[in-house]
Amino acid sequence: MKNIAVIGAGTMGNGIAHTFAQFGCKVQLIDVSKENLHKGINTISKNLDRMVSKEKISEAQKEETLNNITQQIDIPSGVKNVDLVVEAATENEDLKLKIFQQLDGNCSKDTILASNTSSISITQIASVVSNPERVIGMHFMNPVPVMKLVEIIRGYNTSDKVTKTIMELSEKLNKVPVEVNDYPGFVANRILMPMINEAVETLYNGVAGVYEIDTVMKLGMAHPMGPLQLADFIGLDVCLSILEVMHNGFRNPKYAPCPLLVNMVRAGKFGVKSGEGFYDYSESKKAEKVSSQFDSK
C-alpha cells in the first residue's frame, strides 16, 4: 500500500501525512482550505527540521518526505487510484458521514477507508458506504510522528482481511497497532477522558488549583504531563466532543462533561491552539514549551 490519501491538514492530518510520507508512501493531503494546507506543510517541514537537527534523519530524507506529499483541495481529485484513505477531519459525526459518502462515490471499490476518529462509531461511519467491510478505524496518537500507538478499531462489518492489512501497514510505519472493538471512546479515550473530566471536576469543586492537580498526577502517578495540561494540548473542544459522544452512546451520567469544561469551550478557551485554556499560552514561548515535551528524546 504505497498510495495514500489523508483528508484534513490539521494537527492530526498533517502528522499522519508526515508519517506515511517519511516511510516512502505517496501521499495526497486533502483540505478544502488552501491556508490549512499551507500551514500543514509548514508544520511537517518544521517537524522534519527538528528531526534533522537531532540527527534522526538526513537533509535528503527530509526533502524526499516533503516530495512524497501532494496538496489537493477536493476529495474526487485526491482519492483517485489510492490504496488507502485516512480521514482526519474535525471530530464531527455529520461531517465524517458526508466525507465517507463522497469517498464511496469516488474511490475504487478496493480502496480501504479509514477514520482517525477518537470516539465516533466506525459502524455508524460505515453505514453510509456501499461495502462497509472495507471501513476501519486508525486512531493515531498526537504527535503522530512520535507516538507509537495506533488503535485499530473494527466496525461491526469490518473484514478480517482489511483488519490484517491495516495492522501490518501500521507496523511498517514503526507503530504498535492494537485491535479494539467499536464502542464509544474505544479504549484510549474511554479511560483518558473520564480522568481528564474528573480533574476538571476537582478544580471546579475547589479541591485544588490547576498546578497542584497536575503536579499530583505527574509526581504521584508518573504521568509525563498533568491531565489539565494534557487537555489543553488535545484541545478542550475536542475533549468536550469526545465526552459528549461517550455520554450519548452509553447513557451513563459518569461521562457527563463537567460544567466548567462546557463553559470554557463556550468562551473560546480551547487550550494551546486558542492561546488560553487551563494555562496561559499567550506568549509563543509558553506554547513552544508545552509542545516541546512531545518531541522524541
Catalytic annotation, residues: 118, 139, 151, 189
**Are the C-beta atoms of residues 278 and 228 closer than 8 Å to each other?**
yes
In the three-class reduction of DSSP (H, G, I as helix; E, B as strand; rest coil), residue 30 is classed as: strand
Minimal CA–CA distance to 139: which of 190, 103, 98? 190
Rounded Cα–Cα distance for residues 73 and 177 (Å): 30
Residues 6+ apart with CB under 8 A from 56: 296
Q: Which residues contact 118 (CB under 8 A, 6 or more apart)?
A: 91, 139, 185, 186, 188, 189, 238, 242
Sheet of strand 3-7: strand arrangement = 69-72, 26-30, 3-7, 84-87, 112-115, 135-140, 149-154, 176-181
